[in-house]
Structure 1
Amino acid sequence: MSLARLAEERVDHRFKGLPPDAEGLTVGELAAQRRNLFTDGFATPLLALSAERLEHNLKLMETYSVRHGLAFAPHGKTSMAPQLFQRQIEHGAWGITLAVPHQVRVARAFGVQRVFLANELVDAASLRWISSQLDSDPGFRFICYVDSVRGVHLMDAALRDAGASRPLDVVVELAAGEGARTGVRTESECAAVADAVAAASALRLVGVAGYEGEVPNPDPDRVHSWLRRLVSLAVGFDKDGRFGGTDEVVVSAGGSAWFDAVADVFAEIPELSRPVLKLLRSGAYVSHDDGHYRTVTPFNRVPQEGTLEPAFRLWAQVVSRPSPEQAFANAGKRDAAYDLHLPFAQVVRRDGVERPATGIEVTALSDQHAWLRTGPEADLEVGDWLGMGLSHPCTSFDKWQLIPVAEADGTVVDYIRTYF
């Protein structure tokens, strides 16, 4: 499927927030009208992406990756938006990182040629499908985790039963510590998994990987220490000749909280027997946020590298003002990320005038209501539009199937389709 096909989809009741009078238009036709977010029929609740900030973030991470000699495979599970996958690739991304087989199917449907699956894949049906993709498309590159001998055996059996003609490239996942998420806990166990891969005819060991965001009680020293363990594992495997079947060694890490540490430590990787693909996987940068990642972004620690900008804003309308201390807006858990922080009240719009949301705080979310605490200085009335920043983009995109991309003056220039 081509991205151009997305513009042919009809606008209808499936897509919340869009103008009711756009029913029946194609997405492309609606985009060509360049409607205004605030005056041309859009309804609340409404999530919008900033066109300018989105482009800024794409360019910034492209520049960062080049500066530090990193290949970049941003985690696509953040957005599950093929249009954004394509823009990331146009901005230099090596490929796209994903988490589960369904997401790989979406990426392949839109022509993504390089996929890093940050999970061990043991489902036989999905392995058969991956094998068919590899066998039918010599240009398709697929890499996934292995973190157990049992997993290696399951993968190898499923691929052999499928008659795979190309081996599946795998990286041994090193866990970030005891009590962390997935991954092999010790170096000796990593070697046992690598031995199992070597004995599996349908698999090929191409590197090592992990996720430093799971380091217990993370701080710069702990994260750097774990990343050096990961690099040492790669060096040891190379010394032992475990990468004899590949043209390059993959060393991969990188969430959105510690990619500065990844850049620091990956710069220390010594020369190995073959070239090293230093693969960074940070994904939340594409929209950034006003909460979790805004406080922990590496660019706060290294400000000379630049600054990511929050690109989301959720608009809701005040529908009840029962007392001077309380108000309710018509956006709730169905519309806003809330797993890490509640939305942040930022601006109020009334009669075309926008002003800071002084004295207004989101204190809770119901299914379709935001609970607002209003202080004496709050100027808020029923009918006002409230613009809110969001925390954690990973659980923002999944609540919206079609997201307007708006310029600073409210002109909508595009619509981003998501597939969760």
Structure 2
Amino acid sequence: MTIDWRSKGFWQPEGTFSGPVSSGPVSSGPASSGLGISGAGAGAGQLGIFDGGFTWPLMVVRGTAVEANIATMAGYCRRHGFDFAPHAKTTMAPALLTAQLRAGAWGMTVATPNQALVLRRLGVDRVLIANQVLDPTVLRWLAAETAAGWEVWFQVDSPAGVEAAAATGGPLRVLVELGHPGGRTGVRDLDQLEAVARAVAAAPGVELSGVTGYEGQLQNQPDVDAYLDRLVDGTARLASAGLLPARPIVSAGGSAWFDRVTDRLARLGVPAQLILRSGASLTHDDGFYRERTPFNREPAEGPLTAAVEIWAQVLSAPEPGLALAGMGKRDAPFDEGLPIPQEIRRIDGTLEPATGLTVTKLNDHHTYLAVDGLTLTPGDLIRFGISHPCTAFDKWRQIPVVDDSHHVVDVLHTLF
């Protein structure tokens, strides 16, 4: 993969970046050291992000934090008897998907047919599409790929969805989805769950593989537990009606309540393959998930470490108490909280905590900083943590992976 003047943050006006780049097919082969991305070559231990080869803003991923998070989630799933199919939508970076598969992930989850197409082309063997699929073009493609041996599943929550799948003639594998009032897709009660399951049973070429749901939009533990208990009850009801295979898939799990998923789904009274889908755990964050991670409730099971940083330069300090940094909505997520100032790197290279800095708003290319108790000088750099990694990676096509001294060990390529 060529990195040149078209790559945001890479400063190579008369040439191309000469360091390593991870952009090839996904591999689920034997584990290797580290992330499975390059740790040697032109970038490793030599090119630092402050050495002139990069410009600002720049998003980087700390390799050691990602490695630790992957190991933490792999160990967590093993201890609780769950398979792991982490959500690929968070990064859509082949090297990171490879690292998760090599650490033992059973498969990957996606949100859209286009993401499923990308993972199929990358060679991912098993994919859960955590969404409804009704596009006849996509359904015909899924049927052809299933017939060719690909293990892929998608969700159904209506007779219309089942009819659309059956119109292809199959073969197709589906999971019936249980939702909750005010939530996203998914039937709203167990009678509807059984009705859709029976529609699948009557549909030629369509196979019901199990039951799925998503608890991440619920705001408190009692509501999460009640919803997951309905998922358990619905699975048992379908099993007793003979509508499920001997060992159905039962899947749930965002990154905020996966401890409740493992607790409540473990109470299922029928044999099942339990699959967790938590995707944001790969990089974690300094905002939304830092506040909501299950490891705040179960610290002995964790922790996860924020792995994403965005470095931006102070462009102006036009009045007391206000500074503007060169980072905006095109660079950083802002849907689930604004970026969090972490550290200041002064022009002479000295570092100090960003205590007294608060982001108040973002424009397309500017960050407004409230400044209290310190002085910012145009040209200073600020390291920001982010809130909500799922809307960070899509803003960057190439992302340096750095070691703990901010030397580049690889470059990720994202496929959004």
Q: Same fold (TM over 0.5)?
A: yes
1:279-290 map, 5 Å: 279-290=275-286
1:16 to 8, 13, 30: 8
Contact 1:289 1:391 in 2 (8 A): yes
* Alignment map for 1:201-240 (pairs within 5 Å): 201-215=204-218, 218-240=219-241
2:18, 2:42 within 8 Å by CA — same for their partners in 1? no
- Equivalent residues in 2 for 1:136-175, closer than 5 Å: 136=148, 138=149, 140-157=150-167, 159-160=168-169, 164=170, 167-175=171-179
* C-alpha distance in 1 between matches for 2:21 and 2:256: 39
SS class of match (1:382): coil
Q: CA RMSD in A?
A: 1.5
Give the equivalent residue in structure 1 for 2:34: none
Q: Which runs of 5+ in 1 are unaligned?
A: 1-8
Match of 1:411 among 395, 407, 411: 407
Q: Is the 8 A contact 2:20 2:409 kept in 1?
A: no
3-state secondary structure, aligned to 1:381: coil
Task: Report whether the alignment pairs 1:373 with 2:370.
Answer: yes
Partners of 1:20 and 1:320 in 2: CA distance = 25
Q: Whole-Å Cα distance in 2 between the matches of residues 383 and 225 of structure 1?
A: 52
Give yes or no for contact 1:44–1:317 (8 Å, CA) kept in 2.
yes
Q: Contact 2:344–2:382 (CA<8 Å) still a contact in 1?
A: yes
Secondary structure of the residue that 1:28 maps to in structure 2?
A: coil
CA contact (8 A) 1:403 1:417 kept: yes
1:100 equivalent among 83, 89, 112: 112
Measured after TM superposition, the shift of residue 144 of structure 1 is 1.0
Q: Determine what percentage of the aligned residue pairs are the same residue.
A: 44
Contact 1:21 1:41 in 2 (8 A): no
Query: What is aligned with 1:4?
Result: none
Deviation at 1:364, TM superposition (A): 0.8
Counterpart of 1:219 in structure 2: which amino acid? Answer: N
Distance 2:2 2:19 in 1: 6
Following the alignment from structure 2 to structure 1, what is the Cα–Cα distance between the partners of residues 163 and 21? Answer: 51
1:323 counterpart residue number: 319
Q: Which of 190, 193, 205 is the equivalent residue of 1:190?
A: 193
What aligned pairs does 1:297-308 form with structure 2 within 5 A after superposition? Answer: 297-308=293-304
What secondary structure is seen at the aligned counterpart in 2 of 1:209?
strand
Aligned residues: 395
**1:187 alignment partner AA:** L
CA shift digits 1:30-67 (9 cap, x unpaired): 97222101124210000000111111100000000001
State the Cα distance separating 1:22 from its structure 2 match: 7.6
Deviations 1:320-362 (A, max 9, x none): 1112311111100000000011111111112222110122111
Contact 2:5 2:13 in 1 (8 A): no
Query: Which residue number in structure 1 is paired with residue 252 of structure 2?
Result: 253
1:355 aligns with 2:356: no
- TM-aligned CA deviation for residue 19 of structure 1: 2.6
- Distance across 2 between alignment mates of 1:354 and 1:89: 37
Contact 2:252 2:261 in 1 (8 A): yes
* Greater per-residue helix proportion: 1
> Distance between the aligned counterparts of 2:71 and 2:291, measured in 1?
21
CA contact (8 A) 1:252 1:280 kept: yes
The residue number in structure 1 matching 2:76 is: 64
User: Are residues 22 and 114 of structure 1, via their aligned partners in 2, closer, same or farther at CA, if it must alter by over 3 Å?
Assistant: farther
User: Aligned equivalents of 1:60 and 1:22: distance in 2?
Assistant: 42
Superposed CA deviations along residues 238-271 of structure 1, whole A, max 9, x for unmatched, are 111112xx4521111000110000010122122x
Per-residue CA deviation, residues 1-29 of structure 1 (Å, 9 max, x unaligned), is: xxxxxxxx111232100132583346537
User: Do the aligned partners of 1:45 and 1:331 also contact (CA within 8 Å) in 2?
Assistant: yes
Tell me the residue number matched to 1:127: 139
Q: Secondary structure at the match of 1:336?
A: coil
Alignment of structure 1 residues 102-121 onto 2, 5 Å:
102-121=114-133
Please identify runs of 4+ aligned residues in structure 1 that moved more than 6 A.
none
What is the rounded CA distance, in whole Å, between the counterparts of 2:390 and 2:343 in structure 1? Answer: 23
User: Which digits, 9 at most, give the CA deviation of each residue in 1:255-307, with x for residues without a partner?
Assistant: 0110000010122122x3xx411010100011101111100110001111111
Q: Which amino acid aligns with 2:267?
A: E
Check conservation: 1:11, 1:27, Cα contact below 8 A: no
* Alpha-carbon distance in 1 for matches of 2:293, 2:7: 32
Q: Distance in 1 between matches of 2:97 and 2:142?
A: 19
Preserved CA contact (<8 Å) 1:10 1:23: no
Q: Find the residue that maps to 2:20 and give its secondary structure.
A: helix
SS at match of 1:414: strand
What residue ranges of structure 2 are gaps of 5+ in the alignment? 23-37
Is residue 21–residue 412 contact of structure 2 (8 Å, CA) maintained in 1? no
Amino acid at match of 1:24: T
State whether residues 10 and 27 of structure 1, in contact with CA within 8 Å, keep that contact through their aligned partners in structure 2.
no
Structure 2 residue matching 1:405: 3-state secondary structure: strand
CA distance in 2, matches of 1:123, 1:149: 15
Q: Are the aligned partners of 2:21 and 2:413 in contact in 1 as well (CA < 8 Å)?
A: no
- Deviations along 1:205-248, one digit per CA (max 9) or x if unpaired, are 11111001133xx32222111111101111111111112xx452
Amino acid paired to 2:86:
P
- Measured in 1, the distance between the counterparts of 2:329 and 2:200 equals 44
Q: Distance in 1 between matches of 2:393 and 2:21?
A: 23
- What letter matches 2:380 in structure 1? D
One-letter code aligned to 1:33: A
Structure 1 match to 2:33: none
* Distance in 1 (alpha carbons) for counterparts of 2:199 and 2:266: 30
* Whole-angstrom CA distance in 1 between matches of 2:237 and 2:20: 53
